């Protein structure tokens, strides 16, 4: 009997706490940044600086939420894994159920891959560096297990299936419900915090 593939995963609780912390940081940054940008006389300096601070908090929160892997990726026996902000995390390419393409002006910049146990964001240069990713994802499509996005097929020079989406998405059934809830609360909190800060600054 073949041994089960070992896929490194960031523990759910670690990701939830990190996501909540990143969300709290974002909410905490929005209010003073908004108040400073609107309340100071040097708006031409305050607004760009406040924008940079808020964007940095957004990027941090996004990296935690999507398990973004850097450049230390490896692929072995169908397992694709890389180092994320919270530790090593991966997916089983032989069990991938959804593929989404991140793009900029019609050019792929990354892939979001999801199997039944989690998802991983992979930079496009790393996808190109690891030919196993292309081979295994095309095999999953041939098995009828996944439909690759048109943008990905065009980049790989293969014809898309007739019902292929343009960029694809990860469906809700493969999303972490707790992470989605934390993200939603973060967005609401940031909007309310920014609005209240703006009202106070403009009084």
pLDDT tier, 68 (very low <50, low <70, confident <90, very high otherwise): low
Work out the percent of the chain whose per-residue pLDDT is above 70: 80
pLDDT at position 142, please? 95
Residue-wise pLDDT tens digits, 124-171: 998 888 999 999 999 999 999 999 999 999 999 999 999 999 999 988
When the pLDDT of each residue in the chain is averaged and rounded to a whole number, the result is 83
Residue 84's φ and ψ, nearest 5 degrees, are: -105, 180
pLDDT at position 113, please? 93
Rounded-to-integer distance, Cα 127 and Cα 123, Å: 7
Residue-wise pLDDT tens digits, 111-121: 999 998 888 88
pLDDT at position 58, please? 72
Signed CA dihedral, 144, 150, 151, 157: sign only: positive
pLDDT at position 45, please? 60
Instruction: Enter the DSSP assignment of 95.
Output: G
Under the phi-then-psi rule, with left for phi > 0, alpha for psi from -120 to 50, and beta for the rest, what region is 94? Answer: alpha
User: Residues of 168-193 as b/e, b for ≥16 C-beta within 10 angstroms?
Assistant: bebeeeeebeebeebbeebeebbeeb
pLDDT at position 28, please? 79
User: Is pLDDT above 50 for 46?
Assistant: yes
Selected residue with higher pLDDT from 110 and 53: 110
User: Is pLDDT above 90 for 48?
Assistant: no
Per DSSP, which regions of 85-137 are E strands? Answer: 87-92, 98-104, 107-115, 118-123
Q: SS3 of 96, please? A: coil
- Mean pLDDT for the stretch of residues 49-76: 72
């Amino acid at each position: 009997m073949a041994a089960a593939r070992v896929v490194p995963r960031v523990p759910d609780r670690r990701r939830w706490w990190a996501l909540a912390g990143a969300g709290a940081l974002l909410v905490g940054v929005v209010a003073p940044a908004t108040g400073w940008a609107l309340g100071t006389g040097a708006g031409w300096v305050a607004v760009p600086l406040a924008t940079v601070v808020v964007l940095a908090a957004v990027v941090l929160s996004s990296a935690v939420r999507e398990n973004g892997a850097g450049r230390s990726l490896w692929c072995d026996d169908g397992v694709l894994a890389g180092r994320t902000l919270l530790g090593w995390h991966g997916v089983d390419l032989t069990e991938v159920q959804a593929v989404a393409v991140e793009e900029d002006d019609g050019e792929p910049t990354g892939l979001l891959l999801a199997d039944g146990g989690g998802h991983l964001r992979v930079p496009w240069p790393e996808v190109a560096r690891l030919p196993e990713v292309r081979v295994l994802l095309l095999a999953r499509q041939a098995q009828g297990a996944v439909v690759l996005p048109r943008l990905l097929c065009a980049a790989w020079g293969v014809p898309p299936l007739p019902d292929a989406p343009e960029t694809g998405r990860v469906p809700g059934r493969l999303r972490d419900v707790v992470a989605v809830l934390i993200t939603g609360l973060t967005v609401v909190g940031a909007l309310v915090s920014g609005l209240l800060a703006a009202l106070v600054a403009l009084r």
